Amino acid sequence: MVEVIVQRAGLQTSLQDQGRRGYRQFGLPQGGAMDLQSAALANALLGNEEHLPVLEICLIGPRLLFQGSGTLVLTGADLSPQLNGRRLDLFRLFQVHAGDTLSFGKARSGCRAYLGVVDGWQAPSELGSCAPYLGGGLSFVQKDDRLYFSEQQTSLRQHARLRPPILDLQSQKLRAYPGPEWAFLDESQQALLLQQSYRILPESNRMGYRLAGTKALIVPQVELLSSMVLPGTVQLLPSGQPLILHRDAQTTGGYPRMLQLASADLNLLAQKVPGEEIWFEVVGELG
């Protein structure tokens, strides 16, 4: 077993997997990696099963000291990773040895990177997932924590020519389906929602991304019962501005559900930072 010493924790560094399934009926959020595609890709490049734990690194990366050897890979955002001060390529397997240090610098594109290891990180689990959540016993990685993974390695040459599908992190367009309350907006308000850009606000987090458009929408004057919501549900707040629910979102809500993001574009949203702008594009109808 390889021990990894967390010399610097970074911002919200955490062990994540594909989330907690089957507990929404009890009010427990799904959780899991914000960018599920990049997390699954890290495992795929290593030959792992996609649900195994990876290390999610958000914007300001940690500094990790390795006490043994292993094979790793980084996917998702480019946070200027360096191994012993030398630049690392994303989506390419690399090896570490005892005494090596992995660190991160300036965010060049995106904001969440995923560090995978052969056979996944050793991680405590609650209700079938290692994902931290409010009220749970699991937490974000802290300075001086010890992380562990198997000493097994895989061939670097075996994966040298892989060309994995990668998110276009520069895209500003989020594809969505009409939500259950979409028809509550008249045609002019629907057009306004789709024709203006929205800026991501600093109040955004793992539960939801708050947005601000130049013109607020007119909120439908209807009384709604609290209804089911999902990661990717776009609600219209009383302010007339949208809120996009994300991985740690609640399971029910009382605001109108105007849109539902395509799952791939929810991953794209996870790579956006406050101040960036996005657009909505309706691509179909809900069944």
The Cβ of residue 280 has, within 10 Å, a number of other Cβ atoms equal to 23
Among 164, 166, 64, which Cα is nearest to 109's? Answer: 166
What's the pLDDT at 250? 92
Average of per-residue pLDDT values in the chain: 91
What's the pLDDT at 21? 87
d(CA 241, CA 200): 11
What's the pLDDT at 255? 94
What's the pLDDT at 275? 96
User: Residue 181: is its pLDDT beyond 60?
Assistant: yes
Q: pLDDT (tens digit, 9 = 90+) per residue, 87-135?
A: 999 999 999 999 999 999 999 999 999 999 999 999 988 888 998 876 6
Ordered domains of the chain (ranges, CATH): 2-159 (no CATH), 173-282 (2.40.100.10)
Q: pLDDT (tens digit, 9 = 90+) per residue, 53-63?
A: 999 999 999 99
More confident residue, 159 or 130: 130
What's the pLDDT at 251? 92
Q: Which of 67-76, 220-229, 234-243 has the lowest mean pLDDT?
A: 220-229
Contacts for 257 with CB less than 8 Å, ≥ 6 apart: 179, 180, 181, 227, 229, 233, 234, 235
What's the pLDDT at 224? 81
Q: pLDDT (tens digit, 9 = 90+) per residue, 185-223?
A: 999 999 999 999 999 999 999 999 999 999 999 988 877
User: Residue 160: is its pLDDT beyond 50?
Assistant: no
CB 271 within 8 A of CB 110: yes
Q: pLDDT (tens digit, 9 = 90+) per residue, 31-49?
A: 999 999 999 999 999 999 9
What's the mean pLDDT in 225-244? 95
What's the mean pLDDT in 74-99? 96
What's the pLDDT at 23? 85
What's the mean pLDDT in 133-140? 72
Residue 25 pLDDT grade (very low, low, confident, very high; cuts 50, 70, 90): confident
Residue 271 pLDDT grade (very low, low, confident, very high; cuts 50, 70, 90): very high
User: Residue 152: is its pLDDT beyond 80?
Assistant: no
Among 112, 148, 120, 115, which Cα is nearest to 247's? Answer: 112
In percent, the amount of the chain with pLDDT more than 90 equals 78
CB 2 within 8 A of CB 68: yes
pTM of this structure: 0.92
